[in-house]
Each structure stands twice: as C-alpha cells, then as structure tokens.
A and B are shown apart, each in its own frame.
Chain A
Amino acid sequence: GAGVSQSPRYKVAKRGQDVALRCDPISGHVSLFWYQQALGQGPEFLTYFQNEAQLDKSGLPSDRFFAERPEGSVSTLKIQRTQQEDSAVYLCASSLAQGPSYEQYFGPGTRLTVT
C-alpha cells in the first residue's frame, strides 16, 4: 500500500523490557513525526525528523525514549526499561515537505501494553 505502515501493531512487554517500534513513511515524504496517544486522549508529540535529522525531540518524556531515522526513510522508536506509564498507542506520521501547512498522514499505530 501507499500509506504509512507501522509494526508491530500490538506489543506486550513486561516492565523493564526494551521495545522497538518501526515506522515506514510514505515514499518521498521528508518529514516524519512520532506521537503518543493515551486512552481517550488526543495524540501528543514526541519527536520530529526532517530526512535523517532529528530536529525536535522536545516531546520525548524521558531519556528512556530514543528515536532514529538513519537513512531518511524508515524510523524506529525505542523505549528502554519500559514502565507501565508507557502503555499507549504510538502513532507515526509523515508529510511531504517540512512546512507547517502540510497535512500529516498517520499510520495505524502500535498499541504498547506494559504489564
């Protein structure tokens, strides 16, 4: 398909485990965003890439969260030593260019449950 894809769709982790969430943006999209969506809430920004450069990581909640996009396409969000409060849906979005006017296209999300 031509949309944003994410894997896995569901992930259950025991507290203290490390997890890696993958995002495949739409081909050719320059900008890539990660958001965290808690149950019943709107998505909240985590981090932003323009090509391979991470230009904004102000939303990452702690140093246990790390994201990369080494070749400017696929991105991975890694959470180390998971805690119960990390349980949420993690959404990836991409947009064609870098400006704020461009709509973001979202993937289906990865639902992370930390037990």
Chain B
Amino acid sequence: AQKVTQAQTEISVVEKEDVTLDCVYETRDTTYYLFWYKQPPSGELVFLIRRNSFDEQNEISGRYSWNFQKSTSSFNFTITASQVVDSAVYFCALSESNTGRRALTFGSGTRLQVQP
C-alpha cells in the first residue's frame, strides 16, 4: 500500500534562512507521481509541483527547489531565503498509475513558521 511520511511536524525559522522539508514515500507501483501542496491559514490547498517517477531531475522555481531521489524514496522541498509569507502547512502527496486509484495519498504535513 502507498504511504507518505513527513517526519517533521513543525519547523520554525527566522526570515532569510533556508529550510528543507522532508518527504519519504512508499509505493509498489513502478509509475507514480509526487506532489507538493501548500496550505496557508486560509485553508485552501495550493498546488506547487508535480514530478513523475521517471524524471529524477531536480527542479528550481524561484526560491523553491525540489530534490527527487528514487534510491532513498524521497522528494524533499527546499525554500531558499524564507519569507514570512512562506508560513503555512506543506503537504507531500503521492498518486499511482497502475493501480487504477486516482486519489492522492497525503503525508501528515509540516507546519512552517517563518519569524520576521
């Protein structure tokens, strides 16, 4: 069965620090997709990125970067030079291709607090 683990429950940093949010996943499927979502205090989950299991290239988007490593089943998310507006709960999620299941399996989330 699929599973996503986000071991860091809460992280607190001071503005401009770099921070990495960890995500470890389990799946038996050979084709799968990994996602990161941001949930600000307003509650609406905001899509950040999707990676497929065949593409291990790291990705950078502005201050955000993602490190996908199949060898360790990890998909970590780094925010460079954090800002107060980055304060939110971040969720890593997994979907599988060959099981027919279309739902996302989420981790329990990491609450990031960026202090000014």
Contact = CB atoms under 8 A, between A and B. Distances in A.
Interface of A: 31, 33, 35, 40-45, 48, 50, 55-56, 59, 89, 91, 93, 98-101, 103-109, 111
A104 B47 contact: yes
B91 interface: yes
What range describes how many residues of B lie at the interface? 20 to 34
Contact of B43 (A45, A100, A108): A108
5 contacts: A33-B104, A42-B109, A99-B102, A103-B50, A106-B44
Given A44-B106, A45-B105, A101 B44 contact: no
Interface of B: 4, 32-33, 35, 37, 42-47, 50, 52, 91, 93, 95-97, 101-109
B46 to A, nearest CB: 8
Contacts, number: 68
B44 A42 contact: no
A85 to B, nearest CB: 18
A105 B44 CA distance: 9
